[in-house]
Structure 1
Amino acid sequence: MRYFLAVAEELHFGRAAARLHMSQPPLSRAIKQLEHDLGAVLLHRSPTGVTLTAAGTLLLHEARDLLARADRVRERVAGAVTITIGVLADSSDQGATRLAAAFRREHPDVEVLVRETDLTDPTCGLRAGLVDVALTRAPFDETGLAVHELRRDPVGVVLRADDPLARQRELRLADLAGRRWFRFPAGTDPVWQSYWHGGEPREGPAVRVVQECLQAVLWNGTVGMTPLGHTPPAELAVVPLTDMAPSRVVVAWQDGDPNPLISSLVRIAVAAYH
């Protein structure tokens, strides 16, 4: 088909052969074989060049579409040996470390690309089409996404170590009434914002990454939530919140995506986080 397209566009076997970096006789044989397979004459040959028959004109339009589709298929197949994973830049995660090792053992020839995003994008580029799959935390707007829970982490409030509330063994959201919180910028997923703001509108400095959260507490005495198990700097303290639902570690992907590497990664992740 590519040979025919070259001849049909050049209307000359010699120029088409040069364009294809081949000699003219095998090109001519290939076109004759194509005409035999289709049962139709595609070209009128003459000493000065060639002209398209009605069948050749029809095939010219079809060939361009077929070859464009073939190129797209080849790109998709080539892309199947890579997978892009979005991760939330909140901390190191032992579950993710085990997942990486297990996935590498099962798919040694797959190139894994990792895209780290800040706390303003809980889907880690998934909704924007920048990644194939996301290892992140819920809740967030799940419209059009498939989400599988891997783990639940209890959460606490992060405070300055010299804050009177830092001496408590546990706290409730009501204990933080009237306090300034670090918060996410306008436009951040409202489901995500509501959870990390304790279900209430909050006032305080806008943050995008974990270090900005910690610095907001250290410098301004603001408060905010964090998953338990993260060791804060010595100047800060984390006190468990008893009336907050756990933070869910999840794997998410576009619902209906047929990429077999995604289903394989989800299966391996379930085992790695178990």
Structure 2
Amino acid sequence: MELRELRYFVAVAEELHFGKAAQRLGMAQPPLSRAINRLEQRLGTALLERTSRKVTLTVAGGVLLDEGRAILGAVTAAERRTRRAATAHPGIVLAAKSGTGGELLTKLLDAYAAESGAVTVELLLCEAHQHQLLLQDGQADAALLHLPFDSAAGLDTETLCTEGQVAILPASHPLASRSHIRMADVTTLPELPMARWPDPSGSYPEGPGAEVRNLTQLFQLVALSRTTVVVPESSGADLRRDLAAVPVLDAPPVTTAIAWPPHSRLRAVAELVRVATLL
């Protein structure tokens, strides 16, 4: 199987439309269809179910889509990391969700910078569920995850710390003055529906709460009394004055972990992980 064929198949499998896939690939539709037919013949199985109205994946096609994404991501990652290594001062990239990490992130960067032989660490701020893609395609070399909210599937990880959660409320709200609350208190507020985060596909669950992608946007909406949210304690540190963080006693704990691709052989990443586990 050639990488070109794999790219063709992944495009069709993701678009589920030959015309859109051809446009995405910058080619005509007939040669794309012929390439997919040849790939199916070579593998001896149907990858796609085609009708006049739609295209769907077979079970085998679903397997190849998952494997193909991983392979293409690894190739892209290898290209990016090779180019980065060829620069005058190669460094590594650490991904973290915007507004998270706080004191831990500062400690990690300072502690690593003090190590002999430390390289430059570029901080890549991202949104929910972007970590895996950034690591898979080489845009990032390591990432800080919050489990169980972030997926660590296919990644190597080391646990750094575990913490409780807090509800972020407008400072003027009656619950904001309490020493603690429970999940039932915050999830049943009709005037402050829970914020909705996107799933890995980018889709939002149904509900009345605001659609959010990062903490900066979220905190602005909470301050305007449009929504509320339960987040790790560290995310509620150093809040703006019009917000309050109230501990939620029965919220599940959140574990912060550092993650990296299992095939990584970068010494700087190994050193960053080692320093992180010593904090």
When the two structures are superposed, what TM-score results if normalisation uses the length of structure 2?
Answer: 0.60
Residue matched to 1:174: 184
Aligned length, in residue pairs: 194
TM-superposed deviation, 1:93: 2.3
Distance, in Å, in 2 between the alignment partners of 1:252 and 1:118 is 16
Q: Distance in 2 between matches of 1:227 and 1:116?
A: 18
CA contact (8 A) 1:116 1:124 kept: no
Change (3 A) 1:104 1:242: same
Give yes or no for the alignment of 1:184 onto 2:194: no
Q: Secondary structure at the match of 1:126?
A: helix
* Residues 80 and 139 in structure 2, CA contact (< 8 A), matched pair in contact too: no
Q: After alignment, is 224-233 or 150-159 more displaced?
A: 224-233
Match status 1:164 vs 2:164: no
Matched residue type, 1:249? T
State the match for 1:206 in structure 2: 211
Q: Is the 8 A contact 1:121 1:188 kept in 2?
A: no
Distance 1:78 1:170, change over 3 A: same
The one of 70, 95, 103 equivalent to 1:94 is 103
Match of 2:73 in 1: none
- Which residue number corresponds to residue 128 of structure 2? 119
Contact 1:84 1:132 in 2 (8 A): yes
What is the alpha-carbon distance in structure 1 between the residues aligned to residue 146 and residue 241 of structure 2?
26
Q: Which runs of no fewer than 5 residues in structure 2 stay unpaired?
A: 1-78
SS in 2 for 1:151: strand
Gap change, CA 1:162 and 1:114, over 3 Å in 2: closer
* Secondary structure of residue in 1 paired with 2:110: helix
2:141 to 132, 145, 148: 132
Aligned-partner residue type, residue 206 of structure 1: E
User: What CA distance in whole angstroms lies between the structure 1 residues aligned with 2:131 and 2:186?
Assistant: 25
Task: Between 76-85 and 231-240, report the one with greater CA deviation.
Answer: 76-85
Larger radius of gyration: 1
> What code does the residue aligned with 2:99 have?
D
Question: What is the CA-CA distance between 1:75 and the residue it aligns to?
Answer: 5.5
Helix, strand or coil for the counterpart of 2:135?
coil
Any idea what the Cα deviations from partners look like across 1:128-185, whole Å, max 9, x if unmatched? 4311111232222222101111112211111112222223221111122433111213
Write the distance in 1 (CA, Å) between the matches of 2:102 and 2:253: 16
Percent sequence identity is 25
| Residue ranges of structure 1 left out of the alignment (5+ in a row) | 1-70, 194-199
User: Is the Cα–Cα contact under 8 Å of residues 117 and 124 in structure 1 kept in the other structure?
Assistant: no
8 Å contact kept, 2:167–2:186 = no
Shift of the 111–177 alpha-carbon distance from structure 1 to 2, 3 Å rule, reads closer
Asked whether 1:245 is paired with 2:252, we answer: yes
Cα deviation, residue 187, structure 1 = 4.3
Residue 153 in structure 1 maps to residue 163 in structure 2: yes
User: Match of 1:54?
Assistant: none
2:171–2:244 Cα contact (<8 Å) kept = yes
Paired position in structure 2 for 1:196: none
Matching of residue 264 in structure 1 with residue 274 in structure 2: no
Distance in 1, Cα, partners of 2:199 & 2:233:
26
